[in-house]
Amino acid sequence: MTVFQLDPLTDRRWSELLLQHPRASVFHTQGWLGALRRTYGYTPTAFTTSPPHEALANGVVFCNVNSWVTGNRLVSLPFSDHCEPLVNNDEELLAILASLSQPSGRKRWKYIEIRPLTRRVQSDTDFGDSESFCSHRLDLRPGIEQVYKGLHKDCVQRRIRKAEREGVTYEEGNSEELLRKFYRLMVLTRRRHQLPPQPLDWFRNLGQTLGDNLRIRVALRERRPVASIITLRFRDTEVYKYGCSDPRFTNLGGTQGLFWKTIQEAVSLGLKELDLGRSDWDNSGLITFKDRLGASRQALTYWRHPKPQPQSESSAWMKRLAGRCIRSAPQPLLAATGRLLYRHFG
């Protein structure tokens, strides 16, 4: 098969493919791709076996990540939990991947990575498994009563009722004011996890490119933000992408209340699924939380060419040292670190 290249931000055929392909997600959309380019300077590009001037039968979208720190690479897609190749069979996928892994491509990129949600790469290719995560998805089709019954009685249902008793209130929208409330909590949470926060401009750009398909939800106690989440909507799926909270108010149930509000709204709109995103396998607390929402889990495997080498002990030690520095860094320095570093690690 001959493979062709296109610009998904300007080629109208890309949007048409997303409307009809069953595995398209918000991470394939021009809104998500546009925010990646605005914030980090990544250039999106898609590959297809469909000739120019014909409707797209398939497509795999990537971003060129050019970094003097971490090397140049082709990723599908940076900062995206998953990005399914929009192909109809293994032959189409293999043709596209083979065209990219030719010697000319290997000279341009340190590696090529794809992040499929369900499709596996055949073992006879030059791609090997890179990283593995736990992915959760909550089926909303049974209706609100059945979904509520699936929530853990003590850890979720009781927390929802407690939030109501404690007078926790909720705000929702896409305003700059809500973004600021969310981001203050995000900085607190990332410090707790020994990671720099994503740049504020990343969330602002997402809000501008996705419009009403991005919702910022904030839980408040006496006007004080105590928890917040950001969700993204595409077709019949709501995607939970970011969450943060003030640990001093964890016992109020604000986070559980936010997810319940999200579920209620999604069901009322006729959405079929809540995609709860990926979790690191060693983050047992987050995995358990998503389990208790009644979501089903599956393994999410990324594939890379060439196959990555195991992490060295020195690299792991550097990460631990960086984590300790982050915990003690003042907030302005922490935010500046995020602005500086994230474009190198997509």
pLDDT digits (tens, 9 = 90+) for 232-278: 999 999 999 999 999 999 999 999 999 999 999 999 999 999 999 99
Domain boundary among 259, 279, 298: 298
Position 47 in a domain: yes
Measured CA to CA, the distance from residue 213 to residue 276 in angstroms comes to 16
Which tops the pLDDT comparison, 319 or 40? 40
Note whether 200 and 285 are same-domain residues.
Answer: yes
Note whether 11 and 114 are same-domain residues.
Answer: yes
Position 319 in a domain: no
Position 337 in a domain: no
Token couple for 106: 């290997």
- Banded model confidence at residue 313, pLDDT cuts 50, 70, 90: very low
Note whether 157 and 62 are same-domain residues.
Answer: no
Domain boundary among 255, 280, 298: 298
- Give the model confidence (pLDDT) of 112-133 as tens digits: 999 999 877 766 667 888 899 9
- Give the model confidence (pLDDT) of 220-233 as tens digits: 999 999 999 999 99
Tally the domains of the chain: 2
Residue with tokens 């998503």: 290
- Banded model confidence at residue 340, pLDDT cuts 50, 70, 90: confident
Measured CA to CA, the distance from residue 275 to residue 77 in angstroms comes to 17
Token couple for 345: 């690690």
Note whether 99 and 243 are same-domain residues.
Answer: no
Note whether 143 and 273 are same-domain residues.
Answer: yes
**Secondary structure in 3-state letters for the chain:** CCCEEECCCCCHHHHHHHHHCCCCCHHHCHHHHHHHHHHHCCEEEEEECCCCCCCCCCEEEEEEECCCCCCCEEEECCCCCCECCECCCHHHHHHHHHHHCCHHHHHHCCEEEEECCCCCCCCCCCCEEEEEEEEEEEECCCCHHHHHHCCCHHHHHHHHHHHHHCCCEEEEECCHHHHHHHHHHHHHHHHHCCCCCCCHHHHHHHHHHHHHHEEEEEEEECCEEEEEEEEEEECCEEEEEEEEECHHHHHHCHHHHHHHHHHHHHHHCCCCEEEEEEECCCCHHHHHHHHCCCCEEEEEEEEEECCCCCCCHHHHHHHHHHHHHHHHCCHHHHHHHHHHHHHHCC
**CATH code of residue 122:** 3.40.630.30
- Give the model confidence (pLDDT) of 151-171 as tens digits: 999 999 999 999 999 999 999
Residues 6+ positions from 33 with CB-CB distance below 8 Å = 8, 9, 44, 61, 63, 77
Q: Is the pLDDT of residue 324 over 90?
A: no
Q: Residue 156: give the domain boundaries.
A: 136-298
Mean pLDDT of 321-329: 56
Position 309 in a domain: no
Q: Is the pLDDT of residue 198 over 60?
A: yes
Q: Is the pLDDT of residue 316 over 50?
A: no
Note whether 155 and 214 are same-domain residues.
Answer: yes
- Give the model confidence (pLDDT) of 176-189 as tens digits: 999 999 999 999 99
Position 90 in a domain: yes
- Give the model confidence (pLDDT) of 67-117 as tens digits: 888 889 999 999 999 999 999 999 999 999 999 887 655 567 899 999 999
Note whether 43 and 111 are same-domain residues.
Answer: yes
For Cα atoms 215, 136, 280, give the angle at the middle one, nearest 5 degrees.
Answer: 100
Residues 6+ positions from 27 with CB-CB distance below 8 Å = 77, 80, 81, 82, 83
pLDDT score, position 16: 97
Note whether 175 and 64 are same-domain residues.
Answer: no
pLDDT score, position 314: 37
Note whether 184 and 121 are same-domain residues.
Answer: no
pTM of the model: 0.92
Position 326 in a domain: no
Note whether 57 and 184 are same-domain residues.
Answer: no
Token couple for 13: 């055929």
Position 81 in a domain: yes
Note whether 285 and 219 are same-domain residues.
Answer: yes
Note whether 117 and 140 are same-domain residues.
Answer: no
Domain boundary among 102, 126, 150: 126
Count the neighbouring beta carbons within 10 Å of the beta carbon of residue 26. 22
- Banded model confidence at residue 325, pLDDT cuts 50, 70, 90: low
- Mean of all residue pLDDT scores within the chain: 91
Q: Is the pLDDT of residue 315 over 50?
A: no
Position 200 in a domain: yes
Q: Buried b / exposed e across 317-328, counting CB within 10 Å, b at 16+?
A: eeeeeeeeebee
